[in-house]
Chain A
Amino acid sequence: MSFAEYADCIREGDVAIVYLSHDSMMPVKVQRGAQTQTRYGVIRHSQDLIGHKYGSKVSCSKGWVYVLHPTPELWTVSLPHRTQILYTTDISMITMMLELKPGSVVCESGTGSGSLSHAIIRTIAPSGHLHTVEFHAKRAEKVEEEFVEHRVGHLVTVRNQDVCKEGFGVSGVADAAFLDIPSPWDAVVHAKTALKRQGGRVCSFSPCIEQVQRTCAALTDHGFTELCTIEVLLQVHDVRTVSLPLPDFGPDSDTNEEQNQNQSSPASTTTIKTTTTPREIPGHTGFLTFATKPRT
C-alpha cells in the first residue's frame, strides 16, 4: 500500500480506511496484535485485516464494516483535522487548473492537515516532487510523519518556515505553486521565485473577496497573466423513493354510476424515484484565483 500506488492485500504497517458508512470512515494503522474499536464492535488486526484483500468485509460483534485501500479522497474525509482543510471539489479544480501531472514539481503553503498535499503527491508521483511549507512547527512535524507512514515521504519535502518572509526554500524549479494562507499577496513574489524561469501556474485559495482583490493586484504587479477567479460548489443529490398522496376529489358527478364504482378504490398514493438535496449545504468554501507566470 501507498497513497500513490495500489496494492491488493493489507500488510502490517499499512494505513487502511475502515468504512462504517457513507459519512463515517476512520483511518487505521495496521499493526499485528492491535485492536480497533468501532461502533459495530472490535476489529482485530491480525485476524481481520492482515493478509486480507482491500475491499473485503470484516465482521464485528455488532455488525460489519468494509476495509478500503487508502486514497487521497478517502483520506480527506477521514483525516484528523488540525486546521480547516480543502475538500475534494476544490482539490479537483486546483489539480486540473494547475495542470498537475506525473513529474510536476509543486510548491504549497501552508501544509495544514495535508488534505491537498496527499492529492498533489498522488498526481505528481512517481517522478514529481512537492515542496510544502508550514510555519507551525508541530503541524509541520505531524504531517511529515504522516507522509512517511503513507509511504510517500520520498515525494515530498516539508519545510517549517514562514512562506511570506522566507519563501518556499527553492527557486526556479516549480511548475506550479499553491497558496492557502491568510495573506497570499505577501507570498506572490516568493511563488514567482519558486516557479521555473520558463513559467508556470499559480493558485491562491481565499475565503474572502478582499483577500482575492489584494492577491489579484499583487499578481498583476508581479507580471502574472491570465488571471482567473472562480468558485466551485458541490451539490449532492440523495436518491430517494418518495410517495406522494393523491387527493380525493370525491365522486365525479358527471360520470355514470358504473365508472364511479370502478373508481371506488383509486390508489391514494403514487411512488416515484427522485433525488433530494440535503437541507443545508456548504455554500462557500473559498475563491480560487489562478494565474500564469509568463516566461522571464
Chain B
Amino acid sequence: MADNGEDDSQYKMREGDYVVLKRGDIFKAAQIQAKKKVIFEKQWFFLDNAVGHLYNSTFEIHGGQLQPKKIAVAEGSTDSKEAAGVDNRNIVDDGKSQKLTRDDIEMLKEKGLKGQEIIQQLIDNSSTFRDKTEYAQDKYIKKKKKKYENSITLLKPSCRILALMYHGREPGKICHLRYDTLAQMLTLGNIHAGSKVLVFETCAGLVLGAVMERMGGHGSVVQMYPGGGPVRAGVDSFGFPAHFHNTLHEFPISRVNALLAGTLDAAGKGPSADEQLTNAEEEQPQPAAEQQGSPEELSVDTSTADADSRAPEEREKEKRREAKEQEKKQRLDEKRKKLATAAAVLEGRNADGLVIASRFHPCPVLMGLLPLLAPSRPFVVYSQYKEPLVECYAKLKEQGGTVNLQLTNTWLRHYQVLPNRTHPMLLMSGGGGYLLSGTTVAQGPSKPSKAAASQSTEEPAPKRAKTVDTD
C-alpha cells in the first residue's frame, strides 16, 4: 500500500465530494459534508472521517463514525469449515437449531460486538451448522454477513454505479430504465466527446449525467426540459468538475415551436418571455437559490410583523431585501442569457444526436425535436412501454427523413459463478423498457428527380423482400 504518490490526490475523497455508499448490492448517493448525518441501511453516521481516504475504501461504523476497516486478507476464513455434512437427510427443521434467542443477539449487538464476532457466535450456537454441506455453510455465512456486517464502501460515482443505484432504489423515478438499456442508449446515440447532443429526459437527470460523462466536457449538451425548469438531481450525484457545466445548456420544450417557426424572441425582450421566465423561476428555483433564498425570505416575512424596535437590524434587512431583488433580477438576466445561448446552439438545426427518455408520450417529443438534428445523425427514444414506440415507428415511416429504424429491448441475465454451483441468477426480461433508434437523412431536395415524400416513405419492393436474410 504505497499510497503516498503525488498522483493520488485525485483519488482521495475531499469535503464536498459526491460519493456513493455501498453495502452489499445496495447503493446510496451522498455528499461528504462536515457534521452532516447520513442514514443508510438502517444505520446513521457521519462521513467526516472519510475525508483524506482513497475512493473505494471500506469503513466500519462505530457510534456513527466511520473507521477504516483493516484489510482482512483471509476474508472467507475457513476455520469452521473442517466439519461438514454430505446431505440433509438428518436435518430437521424444528426451529430450535439456533440456541441464541433474539434477545441474546440484541444484547450482543448492544455490547458493540463486531459483525464478524456475532456471526461466529451464531455459528457456534447453531446445532445444525456442522451437519450442513459445505455449500450450505457457505450460504449460511453469506446470509448472516449480509445482516450483521456493518461495513460500507465509499465509491466514486460513475454512470455504471448510479444507473445500478437508481434502478435498485428508485426505478419509478427513472421510468424503469434498466442500466443495460441506458448502456444501449449511449451507444446507439453515438454519444462522444465533441458532439452537440439534445437530451429530453424525466429520469431525475440520470440520462443527462450519463450523456455528460460520455462527452467528458467536450462539445455541448442541450437539455430540453418540460415545465418550469430542468431537473438535475441525478447530475449532481455524478460530481462533475465545474467546466462540464459550461457545456450544459437548457431550453424549455414549450418554446420549441417558436424556435422552429423562427418566432422565438431569444433575447427575451417580449413580455411573454419575461412571464415565462418568472414562472419558471417560481416553480423551480435553482438549487443555489433554494438554499440561501428561501430561509431569508422567511426571516424577512416574520420581521415585518415585528415592531421596528431594532432599527439597525431593520435597515439591514431592507438592504438585504434590495440585494435580493437585485439578485433576482440578475438571475432573470442570467436565465435569459442562458435561453439565448441555448437558442443559438439549436439555431443551426445541426445537432449531432438526440436522446429521449421521459414519462411523456414519446411521439410528439420525437417529432418536435427531430427537425433540430443534422442529417445522418443517430437518435434514440426510450419508453417504458412498447406501444407508443410502435406509433413513433409508424409515424416516422410515414413522414420519412429517417432510416435504420429499430425497435428493440434487451434481456439481462446475471450468473452466479462458483465452483460446482454455477447457474443463472435471475431473468430480467421486460421491465427494462424499450428503445426506438434510427438515423436521420436528408429529405428529398438534393435530388430533384426523386419525387414526393410518398415515395420515400415506403421502401421499394425488392428491398422489402430482403428483410429475411438477417445476419
Contact = CB atoms under 8 A, between A and B. Distances in A.
Interface of A: 4-6, 8, 19-24, 52-59, 63-64, 66-69, 71-73, 77, 88-89, 91-93, 95-97, 99, 101-103, 119, 122-123, 125-127, 197-199, 209, 212-213, 216-217, 227-239, 273-275, 278, 287, 289, 292, 294-296
A78 to B, nearest CB: 10
B447 A230 contact: no
Q: Which 10 A-B pairs have the closest CB atoms?
A: A55-B375, A102-B216, A55-B376, A54-B376, A92-B187, A96-B183, A229-B415, A92-B183, A102-B193, A69-B376
B160 A97 contact: yes
8 contacts: A21-B466, A55-B377, A56-B442, A56-B447, A59-B449, A88-B188, A212-B417, A233-B413
Contacts of B163: 96
A295 B194 CA distance: 32
Contact of A96 (B11, B182, B440): B182
Contact of A294 (B56, B184, B378, B444): B56
What bracket does the count of chain B residues touching chain A fall in? Answer: 35 or more
Given A59-B449, A89-B184, A275-B407, A99 B378 contact: no
A129 B194 CA distance: 16
Contact of A101 (B7, B216, B446, B469): B216
A278 B471 CA distance: 12
Interface string B153-191: 000001110010000000000000001101110111010
Interface string B197-227: 0000000000000000111111000000000
Interface in B340-394: 350, 352, 374-378, 386, 390-391, 393-394
Interface in B1-30: 1, 3, 5, 7-8, 11
B44 interface: no
B390 A99 contact: no
A217 to B, nearest CB: 7
A99 B156 CA distance: 11
B460 interface: yes
Nearest to B373: A55
Interface of B: 1, 3, 5, 7-8, 11, 54, 56, 158-160, 163, 179-180, 182-184, 186-188, 190, 192-195, 213-218, 350, 352, 374-378, 386, 390-391, 393-394, 397, 403-415, 417, 419, 422, 424, 434, 439-442, 444, 446-447, 449-450, 456, 459-460, 462-463, 466-467, 469-471
Which one of A6, A23, A103, A273 has the greatest number of beta carbons of chain B within 10 Å?
A6
A275 B406 CA distance: 11
A56 to B, nearest CB: 5
Given A213-B417, A237-B390, 13 more contacts: A5-B194, A63-B462, A68-B439, A73-B188, A77-B471, A92-B187, A102-B192, A102-B215, A119-B187, A125-B194, A239-B390, A239-B397, A275-B390
Nearest to B449: A59
Chief secondary structure at chain A's binding surface: mixed
A208 to B, nearest CB: 11
Best-surrounded residue of A64, A95, A96, A229 (most CB of chain B within 10 A) = A96
Contacts of B213: 101
Nearest to A290: B160
